[in-house]
Chain A
Amino acid sequence: MKTTPLLLATVALVAAAQAAPLTFDFKDPKGVNNVVFKLDAPLESINGTASGVSGTITVDPADPSKVSGKIVVETKSLTVPNSVMQEHMLGEKWLDAAKHPEISFEVKDISNIQRQGDTGTAKVTGLFTLKGVTKEITVDAKVTYLPGRLAERSPQKTPGDLLVIRSQFKINRSDFGIQAGENTDKVAEEIELSLSVAGAAPKG
């Protein structure tokens, strides 16, 4: 009979621990986190990827509306297959990677959450900063919660959860002071971005 309160306390503690918000770290040691960018250009579209992703997102899996955090992309990690193009892209006239080493998205609000098991979609509003210019944008995001799957990706078999976020959205380069109104015949005004990132929340 004495074990009942202890058992109840343990169950309550486990339930509280499971309901607690989790902080997911997006600095993936395997380096799979990436942002694909695409701009139309006369000869061929400019396609590249950015792999220097970091940042944290804190979310309560039981109540995903309570979310906060920031995803950061290292500007110099932006890569295109042509080295001359890459030099220009990171140079002073375009992204000025030396002066603006980070591109970030800070989550402010989440709405229109549609859940289906461990996967959900939502509209995420946040502050997007590029080349030192910050603008509030709202993007569609697909989020997949993978409880207990961290060990499968960790060489040390660290127990924990994974959170996968995917989002596709468009921005205008002139809104962020990137050659505003210039070279529109060479490079499109619109930049398509496709974010695919996974964050890890180790347990224990």
Chain B
Amino acid sequence: MARILIILSLVGALAVTAVWVALGAHPGWTKMKIETKQVDPVTEIEFTEYRSGFVPGIDFLGAGLAGCVLLAGTGWIVSKLHIKKPHA
């Protein structure tokens, strides 16, 4: 059980980091809208168009890794309890 939790936390940490890197390694806050710059050909005004999208930021990476650390910690506690059990 403890080993499974620790393995899960390592896999989770790798997955969260991989997703963050694959989707742009954005160093700011997570974006739920993607901006695209456009220029009106007549007035030459530059304007922004938004479309739905997901760009994970540092908060996504931090929350994901924190969850994995929590999982690994739980695994470690469980392993300690298992070691203590035979002596009880």
Task: Name B43's contact: one of A31, A49, A153 (CB within 8 Å).
Answer: A153
Distance in angstroms from A52 CB to nearest chain B CB is 13
CB contact under 8 A between A164 and B43, given known A34-B48, A81-B34, A81-B35:
yes
Within 8 A of A (CB), among B18-64: 27-35, 38, 40, 42-48, 50, 55, 57-58
**Interface check A152, CB cutoff 8 A:** yes
- B residues contacting the other copy or chain, number (CB 8 A): 22
Task: Name A82's contact: one of B31, B43, B45, B46 (CB within 8 Å).
Answer: B31
Complex Cα distance, B28 from A81, in Å, reads: 11
Q: In the assembled complex, which residues on chain B have CB atoms less than 8 Å from the CB atom of A49?
A: 47-48
Q: In the assembled complex, which residues on chain B have CB atoms less than 8 Å from the CB atom of A85?
A: 29
**Interface check A179, CB cutoff 8 A:** no
Distance in angstroms from A180 CB to nearest chain B CB is 24
Distance in angstroms from B38 CB to nearest chain A CB is 8
Within 8 A of B (CB), among A146-165: 146, 149, 152-153, 162, 164
A81 B33 Cβ-Cβ under 8 A: yes
B40 A32 Cβ-Cβ under 8 A: yes
Distance in angstroms from A9 CB to nearest chain B CB is 35
B43 A162 Cβ-Cβ under 8 A: yes
Complex Cα distance, B43 from A197, in Å, reads: 9
Q: In the assembled complex, which residues on chain B have CB atoms less than 8 Å from the CB atom of A104?
A: none
Within 8 A of A (CB), among B48-88: 48, 50, 55, 57-58
Complex Cα distance, B30 from A32, in Å, reads: 26
Q: In the assembled complex, which residues on chain A have CB atoms less than 8 Å from the CB atom of B30?
A: 82
A30 B40 Cβ-Cβ under 8 A: yes
Complex Cα distance, B39 from A34, in Å, reads: 12
Complex Cα distance, B31 from A81, in Å, reads: 5
Q: In the assembled complex, which residues on chain A have CB atoms less than 8 Å from the CB atom of B29?
A: 43-44, 82, 85
Question: Which of B29, B32, B38, B42 has the most CB atoms of chain A within a 10 A radius of its CB?
Answer: B42
Within 8 A of B (CB), among A170-201: 196-198
Q: In the assembled complex, which residues on chain B have CB atoms less than 8 Å from the CB atom of A23?
A: none
Complex Cα distance, B40 from A43, in Å, reads: 32
**Interface check A75, CB cutoff 8 A:** no
Return 10 A-B CB contacts under 8 Å, by A number. A32-B47, A51-B47, A81-B55, A82-B29, A82-B30, A83-B32, A144-B43, A149-B42, A152-B42, A162-B43
- A33-B47, A153-B40 known; 19 new pairs, CB 8 Å cut-off, are A30-B40, A32-B43, A32-B47, A43-B28, A49-B47, A51-B47, A79-B50, A81-B31, A81-B32, A83-B33, A85-B29, A152-B42, A162-B43, A164-B45, A196-B46, A196-B47, A197-B45, A198-B43, A198-B45
Binding site for A on B (CB under 8 A): 27-35, 38, 40, 42-48, 50, 55, 57-58
